[in-house]
Amino acid sequence: MRVVSLVPSLTEAVAASLPPSALVGVTDWCTRPAGLAATRVGGTKNPAVDRIIALAPDLVVANEEENRAPDLEALRAAGLEVLVTEVRDVEQAFRELARVLAACGAARRPRWLDEAEEAWSSLPQPERRTTAVVPIWRRPWMVLGRDTFAGNVLARLGIDHLYAHHAERYPRISLQELREAAPDVVVLPDEPYRFTADDGPEAFAGLRCALVSGRHLTWYGPSLAEAPGVLREALRAAHR
């Protein structure tokens, strides 16, 4: 199989499950695994369609949220097979990962996928629920809204984000409104916006802030196996 991946988390999943020669094209944002030997085909939102076509892949894997429909339609029009995933919760992530790997020709179900399912199925019940706001961007401020994978991940860890029932999936909310919401914690991932100790917490003076790994919060792939432990520790650190 010759596979082009337009999704960083799927790139990591395919690389961890198939021979190195399987991935022939990946996006500029595909950072895992390090040193990946595959042709770069541009960004997730602006892939070089002609470059992908020239690679003559057997399959292009994409995601309905991360990739643009016109680009995927252009690839299909060129005769390429395109598999599009939809991931809104953890269970769906496991199903879609199994579907992608089977379509890519994986000889067997990878061990990391079993370990990831076990990690999420054996989660202890949280002692109490915690409220949060989860910015994903600033200038303008945007937060997690309804029906998101990251929101489901947090909910399973006992974190209820306050915009889970907003009409939009990633609403723009003023900083004043976010502050006045007075959540128990402000969860600040390092992607897509790279929040750091010096860029983000200062906007929420008086509120607890948790800096978390965006890969463990938003990626669905091998990182799912360690995500519960990594995220729980980062969230606990905010309450120390």
pLDDT tens, residue order, the chain (240 aa): 999 999 999 999 999 999 989 999 999 999 999 989 899 999 999 999 999 999 999 999 999 999 999 999 999 999 999 999 999 999 999 999 999 999 999 989 999 999 999 999 988 888 889 999 999 999 999 999 999 999 999 999 999 999 999 999 999 999 999 999 999 999 999 999 999 999 999 999 999 999 999 999 999 999 999 999 999 999 988 766
Give the residue among 141, 120, 96, 105 at the shortest CA–CA distance from 1.
105
Q: What is the CATH number of domain 3-109?
A: 3.40.50.1980
Superfamily covering domain 130-237: Nitrogenase molybdenum iron protein domain (3.40.50.1980)
The confidence score (pLDDT) of residue 238 equals 78
Greatest CA separation found in the chain? 56
Give the residue among 153, 146, 176 at the shortest CA–CA distance from 227.
153
Domains 3-109 and 130-237 share a fold: yes
The confidence score (pLDDT) of residue 125 equals 82
pTM to 2 decimal places: 0.92
The confidence score (pLDDT) of residue 240 equals 64
Domain ranges of the chain: 3-109, 130-237
